[in-house]
Amino acid sequence: MAFEHEIEMDLSKQIPGLCDFGVECFLSGEEMEIGEASYAENGINVILSDKISYNRSPPYVQHELCKNVHYDILSLPTASVIITFYEEPYSVLLRTVHSVLNTAPSAILKEIILVDDFSSRRDLKGKLGYYVKTRLSSKVKLFRMRRQSGLVRARLAGAQRATGSVLVFLDAHCECTSGWLQPLLSRIHQSRSSVVVPLIDVINQKTFEYESDGYGFDIGGFTLDGHFDWHDVPERERERQRRECKDEIEICPTYSPTMAGGLFAISRDYFWEIGSYDEQMDGWGGENLEMSFRIWMCGGTLETIPCSRIGHIFREFHPYSFPNDKDTHGINTVRMAKVWMDDYQELLYMNRPDLRNHPDVGDVTHRKVLRDKLKCKSFEWYMQNIYPEKFIPTRNVQNYGRISAIEDDRFCFDDLQQNIDEPYNLGVYSCYKHDIAPSQLFSYTYNKVLRTERSCATIDDRRSTKYIVMIPCNSDDEVTDTWVHTSFNQFKHEQTGLCIDRKNLDKNLLHAAVCDSLSKTQKWEFQKTKKQSI
Ligand code: UDP
Ligand code: MN
């Protein structure tokens, strides 16, 4: 058999013990070069992956306290693990499947459902089918979509075939560590409306190192341009955990406002009850925030379970595309926002003007009907109760919008399209006349903080030119830098007494100078626009 021969060839490439326990490893010489080329193409070093055993030993990453928890396996619900894949490197996918088989106790692993979202890679066709049939437990089932359907519909197809009591969704480039499944199932067994997420570690896409620094972890949030992001566990949640788990808060289920979406477990009945997924979401993206908001607003909880740890390869880019090159993330995000975000939708459009009146969004009536049927709470309730730390540029502020030089439209505060996840210099640019451009949206809070959604203004006083720098705001909203908007329209920094000035602009960057009430270059005002009434 041709496949038999190919599979033997694959196995003979593997070096026993390589990268065991998640240590990093490297290729050398010519292999290093083709490894790098495969990385450029796939976002993963496939040549290295091919040399690592499908069964490499997982690292020891569990918290000490987890080892003392006893699970009565026979009383736990069973799990169907659903893995959808599209153009996934063959050895990466198989390592994912093997790692589930190696770590999940067979009494609770009902099945693994692989859903091929109509990949074109040759080895994902006959060879994969043959491998599953001849080398893997009969618990592993492989289905193929008849056309590329996107993550959501591929997962729904998997869920429809699942027979276990709990659905566990995994991406196709994961490695599970010992004991990951029991705590997820146990929590759902205790509380059926808990949707649970493992602690997601990083597997390095170039070295396959299982990177786990300690036991700390982040929870999920979102940005107003519609993306998922990570945050520290807030003090508010730590207090809840102290009440709930006493002195074991490090391993306590941790409420998370959103989830990344790739890896989670949910009771199968509850999944269907609460509206599964929006099946009209195409391609990739947006479905994770949709599900997160829906779960919280419709009576469930979303929790990170620290005793369950799974590694995931985070790629820097997606090695695949979608039919007609559509921005499926953006379109799906609008579908989500129309159903779940109420008035807050406007903030999404303010940050993503291209998504306002997007022609490809389609109809969301049936999802609104679902929201009514489930009697879900409002987005305002979600923000107040589940994610009160989130700064909303239009709430609790003295003013927001464009900040322009007094009566001079050539100068508005602007991020100058710098990377806003890192500290960046505040600049000026011609004021955009109509909509508020996202790069020019600023807020001035009641606590006298001058900020954007994520960054707060401070002064870099290390150099002779004291640039105004926007730095990530403290998550606990601890106020460090405060600004007075003076009767002369200056922004005066209370800690240094300096004022924001646009004199002698260098590369359009603002700096702080000694306050001078007569200086024309220190006068700033919030410009009012029609669209500002949210
Ligand atoms: N996927 C899919 N169909 C698609 C796109 C992606 O089934 O059209 C799969 C993909 O193979 C992966 C999962 O969906 O297993 C999530 O995608 P990815 O890992 O690329 O997303 P990320 O982890 O980068 O958010
Ligand atoms: Mn992924």
Whether residue 288 sits in one domain with residue 426: no
Q: Give the closest residue to 326 by CA, choosing from 278, 284, 280.
A: 284
CA 25 to CA 19: how far, in whole Å? 6
Write the pLDDT tens digit of every residue in 369-424: 999 999 999 999 999 999 999 999 999 899 999 999 998 999 999 999 999 999 99
CB-based contact 304:219 (threshold 8 Å): yes
Q: Is the pLDDT of residue 265 over 50?
A: yes
Q: How far is the CA of 312 from the centre of ligand 2 (A)?
A: 7
Q: Identify the pLDDT of residue 476.
A: 53
- Residue 443 C-beta-side C-alpha neighbours within 13 Å: 21
- 265, 281, 313 - which closes a domain: 313
Whether residues 297 and 402 share a domain: the answer is no
Nearest to 159 by CA among 70, 271, 74, 252: 271
Q: Decide if 299 is inside a domain.
A: yes
| Total count of domains within the chain | 2
**CATH assignment at residue 479:** 2.80.10.50
Residues 297 and 410 in one domain: no
Average pLDDT, the chain: 95
Beta bridge partners of 141: 113
pLDDT classification of 200: cutoffs 50, 70, 90 = very high
pLDDT at 330 over 70: yes
| Ligand 1 atom closest to 154 (CA) | 7
Question: Domain for residue 79, yes or no?
Answer: yes
Whether residue 508 lies inside any domain: the answer is yes
pLDDT tens-digit profile of 36-72?
Answer: 999 999 999 999 999 999 999 999 999 999 999 999 9
Residues 28 and 169 in one domain: yes
pLDDT at residue 297 in the model:
98
Q: What is the mean pLDDT of residues 237-251?
A: 95
> Is 88 near ligand 1, meaning CB less than 6 Å away?
yes
Name which residue sits closest to atom 20 of ligand 1, judged by CA. Answer: 318
Q: Check if 332 has its Cβ closer than 6 Å to any atom of ligand 1.
A: no
- Tell me the per-residue pLDDT of 142-162, one tens digit each, with 9 for 90 and over: 999 999 999 999 999 999 999
Q: Which residues pair with 332 in a beta bridge?
A: none
Which ligand approaches the C-alpha of residue 88 most closely?
Answer: 1
Give domain status of residue 428, yes or no: yes
The answer for residues whose C-beta is within 8 angstroms of residue 370's C-beta and 6 or more apart is 275
Using CA positions, which residue lies closest to atom 2 of ligand 1? Answer: 151
Q: Ligand 1 in contact with 84 (CB < 6 A)?
A: yes
- Is 288:334 a contact under the CB 8 Å cutoff? no
- Gap from CA of 117 to ligand 1 centroid (Å): 9
- Tell the residue nearest (CA) to atom 11 of ligand 1: 85
CATH of the domain at 165: 3.90.550.10
pLDDT score of 478: 59
Task: Name the residue with tokens 């589930």.
Answer: 100
Query: For residue 372, with 0-12 CB atoms within 10 Å meaning exposed, 13-18 middle and 19 or more buried, which class applies?
Result: exposed
Ligand nearest to the CA of 318: 1
The residue nearest atom 10 of ligand 1, judged by CA position, is 85
**Does 419 reside within a domain?**
yes
Alpha helical stretches, state H, 343-471: 345-351, 365-373, 379-385
Predicted local confidence at residue 533, as pLDDT: 47
Q: Is 127 contained in some domain?
A: yes
**b (16+ CB within 10 A) / e for 15-33:** eeeebeebeebebeeeeee
**CB 150 near ligand 1, within 6 Å:** yes
Ligand 1 mean position, distance from CA 118 (Å)? 12
Final residue of a structural domain among 288, 313, 338: 313
- The answer to whether residue 56 is domain-embedded is yes
CB of 453 closer than 6 angstroms to any ligand 1 atom: no
On whether the CB atoms of residues 87 and 119 are closer than 8 A, the answer is: yes
Q: What is the pLDDT of residue 475?
A: 57
Tell me: do 122 and 221 sit in the same domain. yes
What per-residue confidence (pLDDT) applies to 1? 75
Strand extents, DSSP E, 75-130: 79-85, 109-116
261 and 405 co-located in one domain: no
State whether the beta carbon of 283 lies less than 6 angstroms from ligand 1. Answer: yes
Judgement on whether residues 430 and 301 belong to the same structural domain of the protein:
no
Q: Closest ligand to 89 CA? A: 1
Task: Using the atom order of ligand 1, give the atom closest to the CA of residue 171.
Answer: 15
Q: Determine if ligand 1 sits within 6 Å of the CB of residue 285.
A: no
Whether 96 and 199 map to the same domain: the answer is yes
**Domain C-terminal end among 283, 313, 343:** 313
3-state percent breakdown (helix, strand, coil) of the chain, nearest 5: 35, 25, 45
Mean pLDDT (whole number) for 335-345? 98
Is the pTM above the cut of 0.85? yes
Strands 210-211 and 194-203 come out as antiparallel
In this predicted structure, what is the pLDDT of residue 129? 98
The answer to whether residue 273 sits within a structural domain is yes
The pLDDT-based confidence of 213 (bands split at 50, 70, 90) is confident
| Mean pLDDT to the nearest integer, 330-353 | 97
Alpha-carbon distance of 174 to 326, in angstroms, equals: 27
Find out whether the beta carbon of 66 lies less than 6 Å from any atom of ligand 1: no
Same domain? 120 vs 223: yes
Same domain (yes/no): 152, 256: yes
Residue 422 sits in the same domain as residue 307:
no
Which of ligand 1's atoms lies nearest the C-alpha of 284?
5
Question: What single DSSP character describes residue 19?
Answer: T
Q: What pLDDT digit, counting tens, does each position of 87-118 carry? A: 999 999 999 999 999 999 999 999 999 999 99
The whole domain housing 470 covers 397-527
Atom 25 of ligand 1, residue of closest alpha carbon = 262
How far apart are alpha carbons 216 and 67 in whole angstroms?
Answer: 17
Residues with CB under 5 A from ligand 2 (ion): 171, 262
**For residues 434-454, average pLDDT:** 92
Query: Closest ligand to 171 CA?
Result: 1
Average confidence (pLDDT) over 326-335: 96
Q: pLDDT-based confidence at 463, cuts 50/70/90? A: confident
pLDDT at 464 over 80: yes
Nearest CA to ligand 1 atom 19: 171
Q: Do 85 and 211 sit in the same domain of this protein? A: yes
Residue 361 has pLDDT above 90, yes or no: yes
Residue 302 confidence (pLDDT) above 80: yes
The residue type of 331 is I
Over 80: is that where the pLDDT of 477 sits? no
| Kind of pairing between the strands at 468-472 and 424-425 | antiparallel
